[in-house]
Chain A
């Protein structure tokens, strides 16, 4: 099939059919902010941080396939404001204390906030009561920091073949869960599972090794998010022999 031509912010690019807008943009060094997208997983379209305008209509760049002649807006004032709003809402919806979080410096949510110049959210904090599940000998879930991106659930299902995680509840009550009533220790999760690596924030953590990387050498200390290393190597999902 012949190549497809489209424009992103007025720049004409060519790509192969079947690519998503996000993939096509990245091929040409154009960064579209994202959170729930993880290379190696099927497109999900959950967080909407990658929202772009396609011929004037809002679409998730991670799920929307390219098409001949489309006009994509990405880095515009309006879209930056929308994305910033999503990030701010994620911050107030959970309990995110970056100063003491062991994921600080390696956290995609924090890195996006820095990129967008968010020093404090404009919305009121909801201060939800959430729990810490430390029952597993090697892995911990701090629900205070979960942003419901489903990267862990999708990785467990599609890569690890285990379906350790699911979701219950709707709207603000939605939460990541193991089997109803179960704790992490009751699940089939193993510390070597790819799902443990998939979390973009400090919600799923290995129990040993916190703060082992000194300040200044953490992932986003070296380069801000979106500067060519959007997904840390240790977070990149290895599909192995999986389909």
Chain B
């Protein structure tokens, strides 16, 4: 490790309780003031390159292996792109509903995993609490009922995925032009049974996140928060739609930048910048440019960007959420958690509807059409808007792949958030404590980043925190296996 001239460097590696591997570097001047804070993604995955030359119909099954937390997002997004390639613009009702059910099941399990297992230790014990307690084991010890409920919610989501995709992780349910199975009446009935309990737990989760945000509102307004643009998919009528629709971008005041942009036109509106210190790209809105055109995605952006939610209980929760900022977009980074739990509620409401829809047990599974050379799929993954873009030769082999993953869109925002927190908590302090460093990670965790998805690494990296003097000498070191 080399210290920048005339500065001290703090390294947090790896960032914990996130999916994948990353590190944070913080540069301090001689007065211990933060001059720079960056989140580096140290993985390289390379999916965009190595799937070239493979048959396009493998994409939904291959590319989902980017991730083990929300592979369903990649499975479905690739399937949507592949639908376009085989010339299918509209699926059979059964196919679309089975895919939606799979997606809501995933949203339910992924959000529950993140909130209870990864984020809640910070919220329930405090950012600076003893790290021996501030983890999922501490939650199991002190908040047993929440720990059990988290496991059961995740299990339920995974069972929906298994029933629709064939397996809990890395299934094959979505195939070109549709799905390979619907639900049997027995599968449907089994999934209906826990719905009321899941809905009650979803309400309780919204309450925890809402109370936490409101009780700490003044603190959180300043905690890694900043005004930004927001991007999300919305339905034709502006409703929140996690599976399909057009792209909507809003500015910090909520004014529309673009709206109802179809998937195939994403490149007209979104561009990506490469910077030499990270494997992750920096997307931005073309019309505004790289300096100010960066945007946030994910639950906070979706609740900000949608006009309404078309399920009753989640809509009531959304109204309460928007009232905090008098209807203007909410820019509080930690409000991601509240928004995320509103989506958990929306997901279970949708799951309930779908499990009472006769199409869900139908047998009209696939559609066909005229082959096209290119296909773009977009989807609202748990962590935000996801883009899959493939070009395919006449022989069916992939010639080009571009993936813009949710975490990539949140790259600039996460860097802004940690810079803000570093300036607030570390700048000018004589000693850097573990709690201060965790605050940096708390800001990153709000985005629920999936670092492996975003870089297309393996192994286990030790956490090393080094404080170096201006001459590069080691002033302090912390290490975790």
Contact = CB atoms under 8 A, between A and B. Distances in A.
B166 A135 contact: no
A134 B397 contact: yes
A145 to B, nearest CB: 12
A213 interface: yes
B175 A210 contact: yes
A207 B58 CA distance: 11
A100 B57 contact: no
Interface of A: 99-100, 102, 132, 134-135, 140, 207-208, 210-216
Given A211-B180, A214-B180, A214-B181, A132 B55 contact: yes
B80 interface: no
A99 B65 CA distance: 9
A214 B167 CA distance: 9
A214 B166 contact: yes
15 contacts: A99-B170, A132-B55, A134-B393, A134-B397, A135-B395, A207-B396, A211-B60, A211-B175, A211-B180, A213-B180, A214-B173, A214-B180, A215-B167, A215-B172, A216-B166
Interface string B156-192: 0000000001110011110110001100000000000
Given A99-B65, A100-B62, A102-B58, A214 B172 contact: yes
Given A99-B65, A100-B65, A134-B396, A215 B58 contact: no
Interface centre among B172, B393, B397 (most CB of A within 10 A): B172
Contacts of A211: 57, 60-61, 172, 175, 180
Given A99-B65, A135-B395, A213-B180, A140 B173 contact: no
Interface in B53-106: 53-55, 57-58, 60-62, 65
Please indicate which of the listed interface residues B166, B167, B170, B171 has the most CB atoms of chain A within 10 Å of its own CB.
B166
Contact of A140 (B55, B61, B171, B180): B55
Interface of B: 53-55, 57-58, 60-62, 65, 165-167, 170-173, 175-176, 180-181, 393, 395-397
A214 B184 CA distance: 13
- Counting chain B CB atoms within 10 Å of each CB, the highest count among A207, A211, A212 belongs to A211
A213 B167 CA distance: 13
B177 to A, nearest CB: 10
A98 to B, nearest CB: 11
Given A102-B57, A102-B58, A140-B55, A212 B396 contact: no
Contact of B54 (A132, A208, A213, A214): A132
Given A213-B180, A215-B167, 12 more contacts: A100-B62, A132-B397, A134-B393, A134-B396, A140-B55, A208-B57, A210-B55, A210-B58, A210-B175, A211-B57, A211-B60, A215-B171
